[in-house]
Structure 1
Amino acid sequence: MHYYFMRKTDMTIRHLKIFIAVAETGSMSAAANRLYLTQPTVSQAIRDLEDHYHVQLFERFHKKLFITDEGRQLLNLALMTVGTFDSLERSMQHFQERTPLRIGSSLTVGTCLMSNVITDMEKAYPKIEIYSFVSNTTEIEQKLLRHELDVAVVEGIIESPELSVLPVVEDSLVLVCGKNHEFYGKNTIYASELEGRRFAIREKGSGTRKLFEQYLSAHNIHIQVAWEANCPRTIINAVIHNNALAVMSERLIKHECRQQSLKIFRYETGEWERCFKLVYRKKGTDTTQNLCRPTGSTPSSPSIENLRTVLERYRTLNLPDEIPSCIFKDD
């Protein structure tokens, strides 16, 4: 045997808005005109409310409507409810208008550049909602491939042909020593002098470490790894306070060089010059990713293009004039 139950009409925000319009205008026809509805539609909505709550909301007298005590109580609650709903609608529409952009950056880039870049992005493009993730180049690449990031800025080599790479910001690695190190009093350092020296280096997966290890291997130089860290500040402290040497981005140490707590040696061949690169998912492979010039690739979304525009402001490696120009040379 089947039993069927009559379901009461569900009350909606639409019912409440119609009721408010009738209460404010005192007329079904005036409410219909305000809401661009037919009068029978308005009348039906009021009947639905009265049936649903088992109350009379209006008294009819000489073709005029007068709100009842029950109607006034409902009106107060309806105004609050509709006001809350309208506020929710505005908030959610504002949220929908914002475009999420998940930006990854390698540790060097995240430390010396991305805070300023994101500040510029938020000022220039307030409708972009930015999430930032900072790690080494290897992990950033994997997150791009897993669609966990939309775009990244890294200094290391990108291996996957599924990612497009666009050089955008100039950078250079330099040899660094603290003022208590014997190298501090020199203006020229030769490659052979690095043999057996104590170094603070980045963790595996770092683009900076990879480039330096390639140099050491090519020149058959062996160093002592005294510090290994995934934090550039830790490496800087090891150089300043623990007499370690390091090879790191020139952009990271401008303040310390001004304070003369560090001394830098630029590699005379230019072999340590590199670029921070904009990386995003795209078919094909850029074979020119290590050159500091555009590849002709076009970012795949307006938000990524906006990021590229902001990064262009930081393209040139401008360092203070007071930083002395010391040289690192091959033998």
Structure 2
Amino acid sequence: MDIRHLKIFIAVAETGSMSGAAKQFFVTQPSVSQVIKELESHFGVLLFERLGKRLFITDSGRYLSRQARIVIRQFDELEESMLNAGRTESVRVGSTITVGACLLSSLMADFKKSNPEIKTFNYVNNTKMIEERLLRAELDIALVEGQIKHPDLVIKPVIADYLVIVCGRRHRFAGQQQIKIKELEKEVFIMREKGSGTRKLFMDFIEKNGFNLNIGWEVTSPEIIKTIVMKNNCLAAISIRLVEEEAQNGDIYVIKHNEHSWNRTFSLVYHKNKHISKGMLGFMNVTQAYGNTGIITDVPVGMLI
């Protein structure tokens, strides 16, 4: 078995066919079939179920797919570093949408100050998509606000955050010091898309308290969410870090939960088998320097009870 075996196997897993992988590698379909047979013989497991003309990857195949991507990425990194010794290092950083909106630009600016020689690629999406890219070795490290539970990923909490409910200055909740939880049932909410860590945290709270939520909007962009809140008399659950300016100038009114149920942390995430490069270490150091700073405390707020 060599690295080419694994690359062909990944191609079969991604395309779902021997012929698709054969086209990618400019070989015959029987050659691809032989590679899969050799891998199955080597590991003593069935990697694909063959039903008619279709292939279905097995649990063993899915496990090998995850691990093979890491091995291939490490091999490619080794080859690249040996061929380009002394040239520019690169790091691929992922962040969830909330982190991307409120922190990523500042983080990367600070990173470039201390690591000007390192090239960076940044990818912003929801927690689910970031997790998938880390597992496929398409990202080196990420900063996320959602929960990640995959056993192959290392999670290190680094930056404090919490959710708040926000409304516009003309909303009936604006200026109220106390709002009862049941009052939320009467309101229209803007929610992040499924796969968002912000949405999951808030929906877990809703389910725990046993009431219905009227979701009138589903939006991926924090800036659009804030605009809708201010112009359409809706409510939204959002990171406190995203509404600092609007809360301070009075365009948005902030409502906290009195039991701190929406407290969370932004966490660094990377694969457990990942080699910690200089670029990854530099990004870790920058995020840890942010610590508990940046959460506003000097604006009037309401309290959900």
Q: 2:105 aligns with which of 75, 100, 115?
A: 115
- Within 5 A, what are the aligned runs for 1:76-225? 96-225=86-215
Q: Distance in 2 between matches of 1:137 and 1:111?
A: 14
Contact 1:196 1:222 in 2 (8 A): no
Change (3 A) 1:170 1:299: farther
- Residue 246 of structure 2 aligns with an amino acid whose one-letter code is E
Change (3 A) 1:327 1:309: same
**2:300 aligned with 1:310, yes or no?**
no
Aligned Cα RMSD in Å?
1.9
Question: After alignment, is 129-138 or 312-321 more displaced?
Answer: 312-321
Match of 1:323 in 2: 299
Deviation at 1:259, TM superposition (A): 1.2
Match of 1:248 in 2: 238
1:275-320: CA deviation from partner (whole Å, max 9, x where unpaired) = 000000005xxxxxxxxxxxxxx98333222111111222114344
Q: Distance in 2 between matches of 1:213 and 1:232?
A: 17
Deviation at 1:322, TM superposition (A): 3.5
Deviation at 1:268, TM superposition (A): 1.4
Match of 2:14 in 1: none
Q: 1:228 aligns with which of 218, 232, 239?
A: 218
Deviation at 1:263, TM superposition (A): 0.7
Give the gaps of 5 or more residues in structure 2. 1-82
**2:260 aligned with 1:270, yes or no?**
yes
Match of 1:300 in 2: 276
Q: Distance in 2 between matches of 1:189 and 1:327?
A: 6
Contact 2:91 2:279 in 1 (8 A): yes
Deviation at 1:128, TM superposition (A): 1.3
Match of 1:23 in 2: none
Q: Distance in 2 between matches of 1:220 and 1:157?
A: 22
Match of 2:5 in 1: none
Change (3 A) 1:221 1:299: farther
Give the gaps of 5 or more residues in structure 1. 1-92, 284-297
2:298 is paired with a residue whose SS is coil
Deviation at 1:159, TM superposition (A): 2.5
Q: Which structure 1 residue ranges, 4+ long, deviate > 6 Å from structure 2?
A: none
TM-score of the superposition, structure 1-length normalised?
A: 0.64
Q: Distance in 2 between matches of 1:175 and 1:111?
A: 17
Deviation at 1:234, TM superposition (A): 1.0
Q: Distance in 1 between matches of 2:160 and 2:154?
A: 18
